[in-house]
Amino acid sequence: MTAYIVRRLIATIPVMVVVALFVFFLLHLTPGDPAAVIAGDDASPAEIEGVRRKLGLDLPIWQQFGIYAWNLLQGDLGTSIFSNLPVLTLVKQRLEPTIVLALATLFVAVAFAIPMGVLAAWKARSFVDRLVMGFSVLGFAVPVFLFGYVLIYVFAIQLRWLPVQGYRPLAMGLDQTLRSIALPAFALGMTYMALIARITRASMLEVLSEDYIRTAHAKGVAQKSVLLRHALKNAAVPIVTVIGIGLALLISGVVITETVFNIPGLGRLTVDAILKRDYPIIQGLIILFAGAKVMVNLAIDLSYTFFDPRIRY
Amino acid sequence: MVSTTASVTVAARRTSWADILFWSRRNKTIIGGMVILLALVTVALIAPWIADDPLGFEPTNRLKRPSEVFLFGTDQFGRDVYSRVIYGTRISLIVGLSVALVATAIGLALGVLCGYYKRVDAVAMRFMDGLMAIPAILLAIALITLMKASLFIVIIAISIPEIPRVARLVRSVVLTVRGQPYIEAAIASGTRNLTIMWRHILPNTVAPLIVQATYVCASAILTEAGLSFLGAGTPPEIPSWGNVMSLGRTFFQIAPWIIFFPGIFLAVTVLAINLVGDGLRDTLDPRIARRM
């Protein structure tokens, strides 16, 4: 197991090297002067020169990459052009809302999707099944920036149950945070819910046709126990895989959701950086998100041994 | 495609009503999706006749509610949201189709090369892994920020993150086909590599590729709208659905129609494409269908 983890960790190195190379050379492969692009359309030559010097773009390219890679290895993601703060500091300031949003979304999606999928598989081809499948088709089509606004319109503006936008940090009390994160979590969780419900249903259907399920029924195990203890646990591996794939989708969704709900997290940081063309922040965030995605994939693979002891590494 | 036409001929030959019923029921989703898509294509084509100038604005008509004059209301510049949404159909369909074509073509070429030549595979797949680790929307954002925004750049930027997904799919098909005895026979009888790829390998990738292309198309339309919504996509002067919705952000509480109408068009379009995709998947590849 330990050997496997070490092997997998080593295997992530080339992936991250490609990501770093890509992020670095993207800036140089683009046609035109990168300093001029970053400085903006109406920058004076002096400002462009300033950006060039600040980013070290006046150095030879191999030297630039050397410095970039060396800094990266020491955990230095670069410095923002506009605020002059290290990217890592900016990230730390914005981390809490994004993590809370991601966890809440994950919770909402899994908590609704798994019962939906199990129910649909148990009552296959029934009305409930059709309803769940219909929902999952719809969930893929409705973008978060439509569903989010529908939720705001209904629950915040018409019913006034929840705040319209914004985020209350955990320091203000958990109930405040939960109230501010409820709508965003549902809005973002919809696609995710659709994905997990669909795969749960499919995976359960397959397992329910196995011999040991018939045996369990035959020896008189209660229906609930057959579904949850015998079937669901054996159907878990594909479900967990999809949860992992979904987490990657979540990262993209966070950027849009935070914009819809005015949440000052990493997504907002990204969008603000785009509007100001603060390229070091975008570079740093891409590396961070890619790293997070690689780690999630590893965690998912490791969790297989828990759900299915037949899988050994 | 192959199996679709096959079942048509079978149904026609026997002219059994039960067969026709069975076939059309299995393809209900495809037909439903196709009808919606055809309607949208028609709307895009006849836009100049059913809508006014999407860029024309009258400051006196700012933020008007939906009415008989302004079917979908007006935005903060007094522009007709209905006309903008109708013209937006063109942008979304162009982006969806172009990205599906570009990503499928490049992904197919890469996938076949990787599956066929082991040396290319080792290098290219490492690169693909790296590319796939970057969230699609961030990759597109980075590309668009660095280049002058135009519809062409948006299409390229959305295509790049989709390429590895297509390439991986094609590669996995090629790898299974490559081990088959008839490929060995072709190599043994001295058939050129290109001919083997074209005549024996490519046909096997067609079915999964068509299904994948529909999903790429749907996801491209969503991504373009998302990017434009964030203000990092299609240039703001082009009336795409995402751009219309982006302008609605500030005035959402008093003028929700600016966001709702283009949003509904967007959702219906994506839904229609996904229905066609799901239907095709069920018809072309019953093995996956049973799994999903």
A134-138, B134-138, B168-172, B187-191: least confident range: B134-138
Identify which of B134, B268, B270 has the shortest CB distance to residue A286.
B134
Give CA angle at A208 (A207, A214), nearest 5°.
120
* φ/ψ of residue A59, rounded to 5: -80, 160
Cβ-Cβ contacts under 8 Å between A and B: the total is 139
Does any domain span residue B12?
Answer: no
DSSP assignment, residue A265?
A: S
- Whether residue A49 sits in one domain with residue A15: yes
Does any domain span residue A79?
Answer: no
Give residue A204's identity as a one-letter amino acid code. M
Q: What is the ipTM, given to two decimal places? A: 0.85
Does any domain span residue B80?
Answer: yes
Question: A306 CB near a chain B CB, below 8 Å?
Answer: no
Residue B8 reports pLDDT greater than 70: no
Give CA angle at A129 (A124, A132), nearest 5°.
145
pLDDT recorded at residue B219: 92
Q: What span, in angstroms and rounded, lies between the C-alpha atoms of A168 and A188?
A: 18
Q: What span, in angstroms and rounded, lies between the C-alpha atoms of A115 and A228?
A: 10
pLDDT recorded at residue B1: 35
**Domain of B152?**
22-291
Give CA angle at B236 (B231, B237), nearest 5°.
180
Q: What residues of chain B have any CB closer than 8 angstroms to a CB in chain A?
A: 126-127, 129-131, 133-139, 141-143, 145-147, 218, 222, 225-226, 229-232, 245, 249, 252-253, 256, 259-260, 263-264, 266-268, 270-271, 274-275, 278, 291-292
Give CA angle at A280 (A63, B224), nearest 5°.
125
Contacts of B34 (CB under 8 A, 6+ apart): B272, B276
B19 band by pLDDT with thresholds 50, 70 and 90 = low
- Whether residue A302 sits in one domain with residue A263: yes
B3 band by pLDDT with thresholds 50, 70 and 90 = very low
Q: Which residues of B touch A293 (CB under 8 A)?
A: 133, 135
The total of structural domains in chain B comes to 1
Q: Which residues of B touch A283 (CB under 8 A)?
A: 142
Does any domain span residue B3?
Answer: no
| A51-110 residues touching B, CB cutoff 8 A | none
- Whether residue A35 sits in one domain with residue A103: no
Give CA angle at B102 (B170, A242), nearest 5°.
50
Residue B13 reports pLDDT greater than 60: no
Classified as helix, coil or strand, A165 is: coil
The domain spanning residue A101 has which CATH number? 1.10.3720.10
Q: Please judge whether A143 and B136 are an interchain contact, meaning their C-beta atoms are less than 8 angstroms apart.
A: no
Q: Which residues pair with B57 in a beta bridge?
A: B79
A80-84, A136-140, B201-205, B224-228: least confident range: A80-84
pLDDT recorded at residue B107: 94
* φ/ψ of residue A77, rounded to 5: -90, 5
Q: What span, in angstroms and rounded, lies between the C-alpha atoms of A299 and A9?
A: 11
Q: Please judge whether A252 and B139 are an interchain contact, meaning their C-beta atoms are less than 8 angstroms apart.
A: no
- Whether residue A40 sits in one domain with residue A114: no
pLDDT recorded at residue A101: 94
**Domain of A11?**
2-73
Does any domain span residue A80?
Answer: no
In a mutagenesis test of the B interface, which of A132, A149, A285, A298 is the best target, namely the one with the most B β-carbons within 10 Å? A149
Does any domain span residue B190?
Answer: yes
Q: Count the Cβ atoms, other than its own, within 10 Å of residue A64.
A: 17
Does any domain span residue A86?
Answer: no
Indicate the angle between helix axes A279-307 and B118-133, nearest 10 degrees.
110
Contacts of B270 (CB under 8 A, 6+ apart): A140, A141, A143, B218, B221, B222
Q: Please judge whether B126 and A18 are an interchain contact, meaning their C-beta atoms are less than 8 angstroms apart.
A: yes
* CB distance B142 to A26 below 8 Å: yes
| Mean pLDDT computed over every residue of chain B | 83
Residue A18, burial from CB neighbour count under 10 angstroms (0-12, 13-18, 19+): buried
Q: What span, in angstroms and rounded, lies between the C-alpha atoms of B273 and B210?
A: 12
Does any domain span residue B40?
Answer: yes
Does any domain span residue A85?
Answer: no
Q: What span, in angstroms and rounded, lies between the C-alpha atoms of B3 and A253?
A: 37
- Whether residue A163 sits in one domain with residue A33: no
DSSP assignment, residue A56?
A: T
Q: What span, in angstroms and rounded, lies between the C-alpha atoms of A98 and A144?
A: 16
Q: What span, in angstroms and rounded, lies between the C-alpha atoms of A61 and A159?
A: 58
- Whether residue A104 sits in one domain with residue A33: no
- Whether residue A277 sits in one domain with residue A144: yes
**Which pTM value belongs to this model?**
0.86
Residue B34 reports pLDDT greater than 80: yes
Q: What span, in angstroms and rounded, lies between the C-alpha atoms of A296 and A244?
A: 7
Q: Please judge whether A26 and B146 are an interchain contact, meaning their C-beta atoms are less than 8 angstroms apart.
A: yes
Nearest to B241 by CA among B215, B220, B210: B220
* CB distance A183 to A156 below 8 Å: yes
B22 band by pLDDT with thresholds 50, 70 and 90 = low
Q: Please judge whether B133 and A15 are an interchain contact, meaning their C-beta atoms are less than 8 angstroms apart.
A: yes
The total of structural domains in chain A comes to 2
Q: Which residues of A touch B278 (CB under 8 A)?
A: 137
- Whether residue A205 sits in one domain with residue A294: yes
- Whether residue A231 sits in one domain with residue A150: yes
Q: Which residues pair with B80 in a beta bridge?
A: B74
Residues of chain A with pLDDT under 70: 30-32, 313
Does any domain span residue B9?
Answer: no
| A121-150 residues touching B, CB cutoff 8 A | 137-138, 140-143, 145-146, 149-150
Q: Which residues of B touch A31 (CB under 8 A)?
A: 147
pLDDT recorded at residue A217: 85
Residue B62 reports pLDDT greater than 70: yes
* CB distance A156 to A261 below 8 Å: no
Does any domain span residue A242?
Answer: yes
* CB distance A241 to A299 below 8 Å: no
Identify which of A18, A37, A259 has the shortest CB distance to residue B127.
A18
Residues in chain B: 292
Residue B94 reports pLDDT greater than 90: yes
- Here the contacts of A148-151 (C-beta below 8 Å, separation 24 or greater) are A148/A183, A148/A184, A148/A187, A148/A188, A148/A257, A148/A260, A148/A261, A149/A260, A149/B252, A149/B256, A149/B259, A149/B260, A149/B263, A150/B260, A151/A183, A151/A186, A151/A187
In a mutagenesis test of the A interface, which of B25, B37, B139, B145 is the best target, namely the one with the most A β-carbons within 10 Å? B145
* CB distance B106 to B133 below 8 Å: no
pLDDT recorded at residue A168: 85
Q: Which residues of B touch A137 (CB under 8 A)?
A: 271, 274-275, 278
Nearest to B243 by CA among B263, B225, B219, B268: B225
Does any domain span residue A274?
Answer: yes
**CA dihedral of A29, A80, A266, B254, whole degrees rounded to 10:** -100
> Is pLDDT larger for residue B13 or for residue B204?
B204
- Whether residue A16 sits in one domain with residue A130: no
Q: What's the pLDDT tens digit per position in A158-206? A: 888 888 888 888 888 888 888 889 999 999 999 899 999 999 998 988 8
Q: What's the pLDDT tens digit per position in A66-107? A: 888 888 888 888 888 888 889 899 999 999 999 999 999 999
The domain spanning residue B119 has which CATH number? 1.10.3720.10
